[in-house]
Amino acid sequence: MKIKKYDVILGLLIITEIALSVYIGFSAQGDNFICNIGSSCDSVQNSIYGTLFGMKLAWFGAICFSVLLILFLIARFNRKMYWLFFLATIVGALMAIYFISIQAFVLNQYCTSCLIVDGIAVLMFVIVFFEYLDFKREIKRLEKKIEEKIIR
């Protein structure tokens, strides 16, 4: 299997997301090196929006990004399953935009570490979207080559 330009970037971003989520999960009361002075990490992470299904969002994120890593690996070895990875990045980006919106419009407070995790999730979707476009162009090129060989 040939490693493509997106493979390394996406793999590193997903691993970074897992590591950041675990780090934030272990950080007590939003006290971590990522949260800069003046940000409201503690207030955001301990708000009513800081949990999902009774679980701290950081741990939920670590689980979701771990699943995303598995889907990423599956998509690399089985291109027919790529749609599942693509769908997961769409859901992740939508959730990230939702959480950024909560900070901006509901809480009126920002958590630096949360914004970094959410920003990377959106960035991953953008990269996967461009990868998808490249993938479609590659398929069209292959179809054209096959068509040309059939015609000859």
State the pLDDT at residue 124. Answer: 98
**pLDDT higher than threshold 60 for residue 29:** no
pLDDT digits (tens, 9 = 90+) for 46-72: 899 999 889 999 999 999 999 999 999
| Average pLDDT over the chain, rounded to an integer | 90
CB-facing half-sphere around the CA of 36: CA atoms within 13 A: 4
pLDDT digits (tens, 9 = 90+) for 79-124: 889 999 999 999 999 999 999 999 999 999 999 889 999 999 999 9
Instruction: Tell me which DSSP letter residue 55 carries.
Output: E
State the pLDDT at residue 39. Answer: 64
State the pLDDT at residue 149. Answer: 84
Q: Using 50, 70 and 90 to split pLDDT, how confident is the model at 4? A: confident
What the block records as the tokens of 122 is 């959106």
| 125/7 Cα distance (integer angstroms) | 13
What mean pLDDT do residues 122-141 have? 92
What are the angstrom distances between the C-alpha of 69 and each of 7, 13, 73, 146?
A: 11, 10, 6, 33
State the pLDDT at residue 37. Answer: 61
Between 1 and 108, the more confident residue is: 108
Residue 15 in contact with residue 69, Cβ under 8 Å? yes
**pLDDT higher than threshold 60 for residue 145:** yes
- Continuous segment of H or E residues that includes residue 89: helix 82-101
